[in-house]
Structure formats: structure tokens, C-alpha cells
Amino acid sequence: MLMRDELKAALEAVLFMRSDYVNTDELVELLDVPLLDLKMILREMILEYNKEKRGIQIVEVDNAFAMCTNPLYSDIISRMEKPVRRRLTAAAMETLAIIAYQQPVTRLEIEKIRGVKSDKIINNLLEKGLIEEAGQKAVAGRPLLYVTTDEFLRLFGLSSIDELPDLEEENAGVGEISGRRNKD
């Protein structure tokens, strides 16, 4: 078993190498460390990074951890070569909002709310990694279900889907979106 400092170094290496979220189950398996010890060490590392105001930080989203740049240095980072921005059309944003608030949701349910076909937009959102297939609905025809991804959360600065603002029925302006998130 690794010593505490070695474990911290190993965690940094794994999170840096992955450059995406790594869930705690995978970290426990990789590092052969009990879950409670792992979480305690990760929380300690998060505090250390924040206290020392480093250029990178460790963030948690839904029991998974990632290493990313510290927002304190976003002005400097923005001066670097401009990354390719993901532009979303109004129709794509509308579809993404429906999926976020109604997930898991089928293509037909999305189209019923939007009132238009949404195949191309759904495929575009899948390609951008903002949504993913999440199984099939247990009804005739077994249509695919769609949900948002961790990339969606990261792009919109959320740590979980529960941080989406509640919609007020009169402000929703869209049929079935009514101030709640469907978690069925």
C-alpha cells in the first residue's frame, strides 16, 4: 500500500493524465485504497490546492474528481491560443434545456415539446458530448433515452444537475417544462 504522500502524488498523476473526471470506484481500484481513506485524502488535497492558490485545482462532480485550471487565472489562460468554442444554435439550446430538465427523455418526447423534428440537433448534441444515450424506455418500440453528460455540467459551470435553476410555469414558455426536473 502506498504511503500518504505517495498516494497524493499518484492521485495527481491519475487526474492529470485522464484530463477528465475519474469516479471514486475507479480510483479505489487503481490505487488499492479504501473508499473512506481516498475521499479524506482527496478532500485534503482540494483544501491544499485552494489554500495555496495554485494554478490548478481538483474539483468534484457527482462522486468523480478531475484536475482543471483555477478560475483565478482565467484572464491569463484566455490570452493563450483561443480554444475552439462550441457554438450552439437557439434550437440546440432549446433541445438541450428540454433534455436537462426532463431527463431521461426520448426523441419523441423532445419533439412533442418542441413541435418539430429534432434528429439532427440530437445527433449534434451527441457529437459534442453534451448528451448521451441512457438506455431505452420500457414502452412499445423501446425508444432511446437521452440525458446530459458531465461535459454539459462542466460547460455550464454546474457540479450536478440539481443546480439547474427551477423554472416557473409562466416563464417556461414550453409545454411540459413546468418548474421541475423530471427524474423518472
Identical fold between 4-78 and 90-172: yes
The predicted structure's pLDDT at residue 40 = 93
CATH architecture of the domain with range 90-172 = Orthogonal Bundle (1.10)
Per-residue confidence (pLDDT) for residue 93, from 0 to 100:
93
The predicted-structure confidence for 68-107, as pLDDT tens digits, reads as follows 888 888 788 777 765 555 678 899 999 999 999 999 999 9
Beta strand 131-136 pairing with 105-106: unpaired
State the Cα–Cα distance between residues 41 and 29, nearest whole angstrom. 15
Residues of 140-165 as b/e, b for ≥16 C-beta within 10 angstroms? Answer: eeeeebbbbbbbbbbbeebeebeeee
Q: What is the mean pLDDT of the chain?
A: 85
In this predicted model, what pLDDT tens digit does every residue of 158-180 receive, in sequence order? 888 888 988 764 454 444 444 44
Domain residue ranges in the chain: 4-78, 90-172
Specify the CATH architecture of the domain 4-78: Orthogonal Bundle (1.10)
pTM summary value: 0.51
Q: Which residue did the predictor score with more confidence, 4 or 104?
A: 104
